[in-house]
Structure 1
């Protein structure tokens, strides 16, 4: 197949290679660590594909034709060369995470491979974490920024587990020792959290506890880091009909937020 834009491109005979370290952000998305600026870059599928295949062994011309062969016969986009060239220019001159070369390039191991190795899940034991509230800042107080907690998983049967959790009261946590039950696989985790004491905040931001009532069940869903010793995700009330009277405005139907927890490597 002939690509007119590619045939006249100044880059067609150049090799291209990545220049920055990277890692898997999720099982399908990478993150690139920008050494020139304090930032981490994530990408859409197309530029990510090009970045991962920027190994310094293939010219731009050969790469376009290789990608074209991945399509069924007769279904190759007419502007495939334009798309790839535009993506390459953005990665090279915009994001500055890929570079052109007149000769083949051998990548350093730190750039060739992801920055962390694939770990094994060791779920049992003590995890330390924090959770945050996804509510407007004007309804938060100084104890609703990052609430610390300690989660202990003591029983695992197949892909199911159970344990306990205790919030740090000094950072605004809910009193008592809660019960957790959930499931996990190689990428993600799901569990419920049941606390024995109802804890809420009134319209004056005053924290109150009711030992005669249990806290509504919370649901946590998260994903493992590549090393498997960090979990990040979201939490919310299990029941969609729960309303935090006084804690958040009445127009918000239920509470939710984010969390992160980690377990030291052994």
Structure 2
């Protein structure tokens, strides 16, 4: 019985230690609840948060897609400043969209053009990607960079479906606005590639509305191509012939031979 007080003392000590440990665990768990760790932010997440706080970026880069036609509605200096800041943190599709807009603003054009072209080549190598980069290159070409015509014509053999239709629309616009320029680019490709490019062009013209391309414009184009096959520059003649044959395949009425009838279409 003399050992009883000692046992009680030991028991009390162990109980105190257990209570202290329990309180410590409760305090730690409570501190974690009250002060959670900040989530790790990837560059894309940071860019997205910045876009939310910057009205310019949220509108110009909605869904990481850009349209240079929208630039005219904003102050150029403010847009330039916002895009240059965004370029420091943007990645992936967003980085390409930023570079495209900066190129459209002629800001460090060669560098930003290179970024867009790199994305364009990546898209041609991977048909599962969207067509944003193709649209960007077409846009920069239409804004005056004629050096982009060659890679755009060269993309014909590597595109199908909607991307091929996108290119065909560009080819149709180019041949109706600058026939000599189109033939000059086309003449640098082998015959098989010329045929593919011409077919996409003709397919686009065949579904163009009267507002987009009038029958008079088509007749004038046909006559000009006929002229180029016989009296045009020697290097343009074969290319012009490819275009004529493509138009005949796509647009002709087999029962007639007059140019106007050959270019008759079902208007939408």
TM-score range, shorter chain: under 0.3
In our comparison, the structure showing a higher alpha carbon Rg is: 2
Q: TM-score, normalised by structure 2?
A: 0.19
Q: Larger % of helix: which?
A: 2
Q: TM-score, normalised by structure 1?
A: 0.19
